[in-house]
Amino acid sequence: ATAQIGVTGLAVMGRNLARNFARNGYTVAVHNRTTAKTDALVEEFGDEGTFVAARTPEEFVAALERPRRLVIMVKAGDPTDAVIREFAPLLEEGDVVIDGGNAHFEDTRRREKELRERGIHFVGVGISGGEEGALEGPSIMPGGSKESYESLGPMLEKIAAKAKDGTPCTTHIGPDAAGHFVKMVHNGIEYADMQLIAEAYDLLRRVAGYSPAKIAETFRGWNTGRLDSYLIEITAEVLAHTDAATGKPFVDIVQDRAEQKGTGRWTVQIALDLGVPVSGIAEAVFARSLSGHADLREAARELPGPSATPLAEAEAAAFADRVEQALYASKIVSYTQGFHQIRAGSEAYDWDIDLGAVASIWRAGCIIRAAFLDRIRAAYDSRPGLVSLLSDDEFAQEIGAAQDDWRAVVAEAARQGVPTPGFAAALSYYDGLRADRLPAALTQGQRDYFGAHTYRRTDREGTFHTLWGGDRSETVAE
């Protein structure tokens, strides 16, 4: 046994992860169900480091130093269970099984429990950064036992992306499925970020009348400021790209239907279960879903739109500046919601997740990497008990300074008939939290009327019910 780590599942992610370990000086055992992929890896990249090619699960396990560390990088779902079933009987107490796929965190909880009973550590690891990140340094979100992190952590720290200050973008998130949960929310925030950027583009195009090339230039400008992020950077690239076949802007030849694989949907489903209002993420998932309903869209094409006058050309630049404010303010809200969900998950499952550490490891390597995350890290580090990002002084001040423009953009979008579900939901969340009194009082009154669901009073302790069908006198419930 010579390999310090093994990777089974050598599609794009597994292959690049194995190479990343090898490039960092580790001897890596590699295995894939279809052995041709194993051979291809060693043949193509064998000179990057030391690989041990294994043809069978037995060979693979035998190649690993004890305690064994083996990374499963196969398609999430049943294939992961199949691989675990195949390998688990070959493992011994103390070995560490790492699932680097995009597993649902409930699956990770189940697998962790099953393997723990056999003395095997199961570590669900969220990995973000796509194909390139896996090779060059991803953001890595490991769950699992503290003990397993002691053996695995230093290796992950070596292959992970490094933030500007040199800190590795990985940390022990918390026990069992904490890592996969945080990865799920990362992807939910990614959906929200992408939706907000798409809305900003749509407004610049349809309200300000900018061309895709001009919007690319605008985004490049934004990318040098507080919106500095990978997603803004690649958006500018996509918008500046011209289709070779037609000479048209690339964005105009792509069908306007956004697909999804499921992590955004999971984030919203779990948020509903936890009772966390992640309206920005939900609107992003629904916006993709709406885009895919060709039949509904076709049936609605003739519905009347507004008769608003378009913006005068002279106002376009000022409007673009307002869109930047709206985008930034909405982004603060989506991160507020995402971090709320992580806190809620951490409390529900007893994970004790350090929110500042999560922001810290998202600063590089992952898809939502952004300068902004350094500020979120600072906010949680200075006040670990921070209830909401919006209650951080700096963010509160910034969103306050942006709000007039943000409101103007949402109003103008409504006036011109341009959908901005992300911007509008974020603004409603902000105003909802700010409100002295919410109409929830009326909602509760309605609930009491039709279902005797009772209510609490503003002026007295206790639970009450009004006899709506009778003399409308108030009774004390309980």
When binding is defined by CB under 6 A, the residue of 5, 13, 327, 426 that contacts ligand NBP is 13
When binding is defined by CB under 6 A, the residue of 101, 137, 168, 422 that contacts ligand NBP is 101
When binding is defined by CB under 6 A, the residue of 7, 127, 386, 424 that contacts ligand NBP is 127
Nearer to ligand NBP by Cβ, of 101 and 249: the residue is 101
Q: Which of 112, 190, 199, 324 is catalytic?
A: 190
Nearer to ligand NBP by Cβ, of 12 and 317: the residue is 12
Nearer to ligand NBP by Cβ, of 51 and 222: the residue is 51
Q: Of 3-11, 150-158, 187-195, 446-454, which part binds ligand NBP (CB under 6 A)?
A: 3-11
Task: Calculate the dihedral angle through the C-alpha atoms of 69, 75, 80, 81, rounding to the nearest 10 degrees.
Answer: -170
**Which secondary structure element, helix H or strand E, spans residue 34, and what is its range?**
none
Least distance between ligand NBP and beta carbon 17 (Å): 9
Q: What letter represents residue 314's amino acid? A: A
**Which secondary structure element, helix H or strand E, spans residue 284, and what is its range?**
helix 279-292
Specify the residue for token string 């890592």: 179
Least distance between ligand NBP and beta carbon 101 (Å): 3
Q: Of 8-16, 42-50, 207-215, 422-430, which part binds ligand NBP (CB under 6 A)?
A: 8-16
Q: Residue 156, SS3? A: helix
Q: Does residue 113 have an active-site annotation?
A: no
Judged by CB under 6 A, does residue 144 bind ligand NBP?
no
Q: Does residue 190 have an active-site annotation?
A: yes
Nearer to ligand NBP by Cβ, of 122 and 201: the residue is 122
Full strand arrangement of the beta sheet holding 139-142 = 50-53, 27-31, 5-8, 69-72, 96-99, 121-128, 139-142
Q: Which of 112, 183, 283, 331 is catalytic?
A: 183
First to last CA, the chain: 68
Nearer to ligand NBP by Cβ, of 20 and 102: the residue is 102
* Distance, CA of 169 to CA of 134 (rounded, Å): 12
Specify the residue for token string 């409390």: 347
When binding is defined by CB under 6 A, the residue of 12, 308, 387, 441 that contacts ligand NBP is 12
Q: Using CB under 6 A as the criterion, what x/- string covers residues 391-410 for binding ligand NBP?
A: --------------------
Specify the residue for token string 């350090």: 354
Nearer to ligand NBP by Cβ, of 98 and 285: the residue is 98
Least distance between ligand NBP and beta carbon 152 (Å): 17
Judged by CB under 6 A, does residue 97 bind ligand NBP?
no
Least distance between ligand NBP and beta carbon 349 (Å): 22
Least distance between ligand NBP and beta carbon 141 (Å): 11
Q: Using CB under 6 A as the criterion, what x/- string covers residues 67-86 for binding ligand NBP?
A: ------xxxx--x--xx---
How many residues form the binding site for ligand NBP (CB under 6 A)?
A: 22
User: What phi and psi, each to the nearest 5 degrees, are found at residue 140?
Assistant: -120, 130
When binding is defined by CB under 6 A, the residue of 20, 27, 38, 102 that contacts ligand NBP is 102
Residue 221, CA distances (Å) to 33, 151, 225, 323, 329 in order: 47, 44, 7, 13, 17
Q: For residue 103, with 0-12 CB atoms within 10 Å meaning exposed, 13-18 middle and 19 or more buried, which class applies?
A: buried
Q: Using CB under 6 A as the criterion, what x/- string covers residues 20-59 for binding ligand NBP?
A: ------------xxx--x----------------------
**Which secondary structure element, helix H or strand E, spans residue 212, and what is its range?**
helix 212-222
* Distance, CA of 68 to CA of 12 (rounded, Å): 23
Specify the residue for token string 């630049």: 317
Nearer to ligand NBP by Cβ, of 6 and 356: the residue is 6
Task: Calculate the dihedral angle through the C-alpha atoms of 300, 306, 312, 315, rounding to the nearest 10 degrees.
Answer: -90
Judged by CB under 6 A, does residue 14 bind ligand NBP?
yes
When binding is defined by CB under 6 A, the residue of 44, 58, 59, 131 that contacts ligand NBP is 131
* Distance, CA of 188 to CA of 263 (rounded, Å): 7
User: What phi and psi, each to the nearest 5 degrees, are found at residue 212?
Assistant: -55, -40
Q: Residue 140, SS3? A: strand
Specify the residue for token string 């009987």: 89
Specify the residue for token string 């001040």: 397
Residues identified as active-site: 183, 190
**Which positions lie near ligand NBP, rule CB under 6 A?**
9-14, 32-34, 37, 73-76, 79, 82-83, 101-102, 127, 130-131
